[in-house]
Amino acid sequence: MAESLLLDTRQSGDWTVVDVRGEVDLYTAPRLKTLLTDLTGSGRNRLAIEFGGVEFMDSTGLGVLISGLKRCREAGGTLALVAPTEPVRKVLGITGLDQVFTIHDDLADVTGS
Amino acid sequence: MSTDLEERFWIDLRPEAAYVGPARIFGAELARQSGVSEEILDDVKVAVGEALSRALNTKALELRVKAVLRDGRLFFEIPQGDGLESSDSSTDRLMAALSLELITVLFEDGEAATSEEGDPVIRFSVPIPSRA
């Protein structure tokens, strides 16, 4: 079956940038969860999640993001969402989670570079 | 114009997470081919996808999307399992609640109901604009 979720990470100052592309659903979300768990487990707790390439996300994906945010905060960091697409913004808005996450239009607004 | 004619569509797939995506695409493409307006197609994808995820979480024996085109609407029905939803953590329980919330907010007739055969299902319908 074709890969429907692509993940990439890079460092930008204090922030670890996670580039997410494709679809985040019941099938693919565990991979994102594993990545976020590994990052926070290795002490990287300032995460900027780039969502500009995510065409679809369901409640499983929301759960992964909430878990990631909790782990970051427990370690004194945070998790920010960058440039979510309209379908993702709609899901965040309906569930009220747009009030929970810090959402930025541009990565530079998060990392300052 | 009202008509007694109806068309029925369905897809059955193995109850595995890998098939949620293809089943979701089936639902959205069926809506597109039926004439559902483009701005609602993303909502259909979300609702079908959430219902399918709930089906797996409630241990459904198959991953099925059923739809009936009747009287200017496309009626979706996604069978659910009768097992308990996974509740490994507070986040899992929250997501299970948000899943149904998403469906009912996106479609005002969205509901967790019982089929004619007495089995648990998720239902919602989508208007088909007339092609006058």
Backbone dihedral angles phi then psi of residue A7, each to the nearest 5 degrees: -125, 140
Residues of B in contact with A70 (CB under 8 A): 91
A24: nearest CA in chain B? Answer: B21
Provide the greatest CA pair distance for chain B. Answer: 51
Residues of A in contact with B110 (CB under 8 A): none
Full domain range(s) for residue A22: 5-111
Tens of pLDDT along chain B (132 residues) come to: 455 678 999 999 999 999 999 999 999 999 999 999 988 999 999 999 999 999 998 889 989 999 999 999 999 999 999 876 555 667 767 777 888 899 999 999 999 999 988 999 999 999 998 765
Q: Write the residue in B53, B96, B102 that is nearest to A91 by C-beta.
A: B102
Inform me whether the C-beta atom of residue B18 falls under 8 Å from chain A C-beta atoms.
yes
SS3 B40: helix
How many Å apart are CA A80 and CA A73, to the nearest integer? 11
Q: What is the pLDDT of residues A20-46, one digit of tens each?
A: 999 999 999 999 999 999 999 999 999
Inform me whether the C-beta atom of residue B56 falls under 8 Å from chain A C-beta atoms.
yes
Domain ranges of chain B: 7-127
CATH code (residue A37): 3.30.750.24
Question: Hey, what's the torsion of the CAs at B35, B38, B42, B45, to 10 degrees?
Answer: 20
Q: Which CATH architecture has domain B7-127?
A: 2-Layer Sandwich (3.30)
How many Å apart are CA A92 and CA A98, to the nearest integer? 5
Tally the domains of chain A: 1
ipTM computed for the complex: 0.86
CB of B41 within 8 A of CB of B32?
yes
